[in-house]
């Protein structure tokens, strides 16, 4: 943020901030559009990337209501998807996120998603928090 002591300079600085804000907004919108394109096709007729079961909701949006509605094969797919995202590379070289074994993840989701109030809990958040405290 600029600090300007004279009135004409303040108007110039404020105009510069407005134009910078516009460029920043355009960059964010462009980046999100590019990211959306990278995350997958919106073509619902496209075959799944793997031969196994798939989940309809992106893993970042999968919540307890999805878990409760899923059958055994979808639950396995949810656990694998969350594990893949959570166990991916971290900011440090060679680092990877903590993961749970599949039985622990199943028991975690099954227990935490049972109460009615938990239907909007994001599964990846439950998973990453439990994995972070594993072994402590």
Alpha-carbon gap, residue 51 to 2, rounded angstroms: 55
| pLDDT value for 134 | 81
**Which residue, 134, 85, 84, 88, is CA-closest to 107?**
134
Mean pLDDT is lowest, of 1-5, 46-50, 118-122, 126-130, for 46-50
**Which residue, 34, 84, 89, 33, is CA-closest to 58?**
84
**Which residue, 116, 107, 16, is CA-closest to 130?**
107
On the question of pLDDT at 78 being above 70, the answer is yes
Which residue blocks in the chain are alpha helix, DSSP H?
7-39, 64-69, 72-86, 102-112, 123-132
CB atoms within 10 A of CB 68: 15
On the question of pLDDT at 118 being above 50, the answer is yes
What are 16-43's pLDDT values in tens digits?
Answer: 444 444 443 333 334 333 333 433 433 3
| pLDDT value for 95 | 83
- Over residues 54-81, the mean pLDDT reads 90
């Amino acid at each position: 943020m600029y600090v300007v002591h004279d009135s004409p300079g303040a108007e110039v600085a404020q105009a510069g901030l407005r134009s910078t804000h516009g460029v920043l907004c355009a960059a964010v919108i462009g980046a999100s559009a590019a990211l959306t394109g990278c995350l997958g096709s919106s073509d619902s007729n496209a075959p799944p990337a793997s031969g196994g079961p798939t989940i309809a909701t992106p893993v970042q949006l999968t919540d307890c209501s999805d878990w409760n509605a899923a059958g055994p094969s979808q639950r396995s797919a949810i656990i694998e998807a969350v594990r893949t995202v959570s166990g991916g590379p971290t900011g440090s070289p060679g680092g990877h996120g903590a993961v749970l074994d599949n039985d622990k993840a199943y028991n975690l989701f099954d227990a935490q998603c049972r109460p009615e109030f938990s239907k909007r809990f994001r599964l990846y958040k439950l998973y990453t928090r439990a994995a972070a405290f594993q072994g402590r």
